Amino acid sequence: MSTLPEKTIERLSMYRRVLQTYQDNQSEFIYSHELASLLHLTPVQVRRDIMLIGYSGTQRKGYSVKELINKIGDILDGNERINAVIIGMGHLGKAITNYFNTKRSKIDIVAAFENDSTKVDRIISGIKSYHTDSLEMILEESNVTIAILSLSPREAQDVTDRLVFAGIKGILNFTSVPLTVPEDVSLENYDMVTSMEKLAYFVKEKIRDENSL
Amino acid sequence: MSTLPEKTIERLSMYRRVLQTYQDNQSEFIYSHELASLLHLTPVQVRRDIMLIGYSGTQRKGYSVKELINKIGDILDGNERINAVIIGMGHLGKAITNYFNTKRSKIDIVAAFENDSTKVDRIISGIKSYHTDSLEMILEESNVTIAILSLSPREAQDVTDRLVFAGIKGILNFTSVPLTVPEDVSLENYDMVTSMEKLAYFVKEKIRDENSL
DNA sequence: TAAACAATGTTATTATTTTAACAATTATAC
DNA sequence: GTATAATTGTTAAAATAATAACATTGTTTA
Ligand SMILES: NC(=O)c1ccc[n+]([C@@H]2O[C@H](COP(=O)([O-])OP(=O)(O)OC[C@H]3O[C@@H](n4cnc5c(N)ncnc54)[C@H](O)[C@@H]3O)[C@@H](O)[C@H]2O)c1
Ligand SMILES: NC(=O)c1ccc[n+]([C@@H]2O[C@H](COP(=O)([O-])OP(=O)(O)OC[C@H]3O[C@@H](n4cnc5c(N)ncnc54)[C@H](O)[C@@H]3O)[C@@H](O)[C@H]2O)c1
């Protein structure tokens, strides 16, 4: 199967989550319009996404919840578990680590890195925290493909370069720094300020539109 | 000016941020290709966005950094400051509050709400935390338009309904719950698990592509 | 067993977003 | 001054994503 559209991948992740709670509570099958309604999407979009991943339901009956969950798992998770590290165990880093390692998931955060000596060589939020100096050493002896960046912006590009050099293939960047990475490294940015400013803009626009009617 | 495309709004927020640091360090003017390069975009996209907001640079000279910052400010910020509240002062809520109120911005987090009695009626991360029971009361006497949700998923929809009823116009949702809100309320969701799973998928795909060459 | 119905699966259309093409303009060099 | 080069502003085209249309098919009902 060729690479799926980005937006479809995002929705697959969301389908799976709601299917998992649906599975526990409800029926064995689910209709596209039910799944759509749980996520405020259209039934067509759900059907199209499911078509794209090559799964088929039964007409008049819907999709097998269990099979669909498994099929999504095949696509999102693959076979092996994925190891991640987190750089920067400040407020955000601790929140993320704490959150992630209380969820069941195929992705594990296996180590943290810190600069601040008071946070090094300790267990924080359930995982071992190392000094950033030993980044290369630790990464060499473990199979880590993803890094989460929640460190001070000032250090973000330097550490990124080292991560890339050490063979990291994906970066989830919470610093607002626009990172430079080579082509073969995937980069996901989340910028909370942008998110807030965007929301504020559309709130303003809606109020303006209402007043102008 | 009519409502701008969503993606343009996101980039405007990013333009402004890099322009602000550029302003402090460098020249009075900036070329589209320079601004593009700082954010890893194309010069065309930068020029098109700037066209859409109705600002003009000088050919052969570029854009006045100061004027462009101001123009973006007119669009994103409007005239008045915006007040926000945050619901749920757990790990994530504290991180966000702490982060936001150390930045200069037109958006202020003015109050927090909590259920846990040990976190109520105290100053946490610099802002006053109230019991969620008093949500309606506090919102009535202040001009708050935006709410940030970082509370337990279980309570998310209930609190959302109350926020909407109390007149909130925008919600930034960090719980992974697919919230139901009326048409006139803007909703921004950020789902960290989806973000991670998406990243993991594209990492896998890239590795697969490389192996199949 | 046949007709009606209600759901899926897929192709076609539309909307949004990005990228390309290029004309217009202005600073610089000669 | 005039030619040249470099940059903006805008329209056109391409790519991506969402929506609509509808044919297909399994299920129910009479
Ligand atoms: N907290 C939020 O809600 C939030 C929101 C958006 C963006 N961010 C961004 O996320 C990052 C972290 O935010 P925070 O609020 O947790 O800040 P913080 O100051 O609490 O944490 C930063 C941590 O990074 C560590 N650090 C610095 N250099 C390091 C290095 N070279 N290697 C390893 N660790 C290093 C520091 O010691 C500190 O513990 C910042 O870039 C911030 O801009 C945070
Ligand atoms: N921490 C993360 O990195 C992260 C990442 C993604 C999503 N989330 C989501 O963000 C939310 C918060 O995560 P967290 O890690 O901070 O969890 P947390 O348990 O540390 O914090 C949740 C807080 O919400 C409070 N709360 C519960 N019900 C409330 C109510 N009705 N009114 C006000 N406050 C209430 C609790 O008392 C608690 O302090 C959760 O929905 C979680 O799924 C967190």
Q: What is the pLDDT of residues A51-106, one digit of tens each?
A: 999 999 998 889 999 999 999 999 999 899 999 999 999 999 999 999 998 888 89
Q: Is B7 (CB) below 7 Å from strand C? A: yes
Q: Which nucleotides of D are covered by protein (CB under 7 A)?
A: 5-11, 16-21, 24-27
User: Does the structure show a pLDDT above 80 at B21?
Assistant: yes
- In chain B, residues under CATH classification 1.10.10.10 are 6-77
Task: Report chain A's mean pLDDT, rounded to a whole number.
Answer: 95
Q: Give me the residue from B9, B39, B198 closest to A178, CB to CB.
A: B39
Which CATH code of 1.10.10.10, 2.40.30.10, 3.40.50.1360, 3.40.50.2000 fits the domain covering A6-77?
A: 1.10.10.10
User: Does the structure show a pLDDT above 80 at A39?
Assistant: yes
Per the document, the length of chain B is: 213
Which CATH code of 3.90.380.10, 3.40.50.720, 3.40.720.10, 2.30.30.140 fits the domain covering A82-193?
A: 3.40.50.720
Coil, strand or helix: which one is B140?
helix
Q: How confident is the model at residue B213 (pLDDT cuts 50, 70, 90)?
A: low
CA A208 – C1' C15 distance (Å)?
24
pTM of the predicted protein model: 0.96
The response to whether residue A99 sits with its C-beta less than 6 Å from ligand 2 reads yes
Distance of CA A151 from the midpoint of ligand 1 (Å): 3
B193/A contact by beta carbon, under 8 A: yes
Q: What is the arithmetic mean of pLDDT over B130-147?
A: 96
- In chain B, residues under CATH classification 3.40.50.720 are 82-193
Structure confidence by residue, pLDDT tens digits, B150-190: 999 999 999 999 999 999 999 999 999 999 999 999 999 99
- CA separation for the pair A65, A58 (Å, rounded): 12
- Rounded to 10 degrees, what is the CA torsion of A8, B172, B37, A169? -50
Residues on chain A touching B103 (C-beta within 8 angstroms): 193
Shortest Cα–Cα distance, B164 to chain A (Å): 13
Nearest ligand to the CA atom of A158? 1
Complete DSSP assignment for B87-136: E--SHHHHHHHHHHTTS--SEEEEEEEESSGGGSSEEETTEEEEEGGGHH
Nearest residue to C11 via alpha carbon and C1': A48
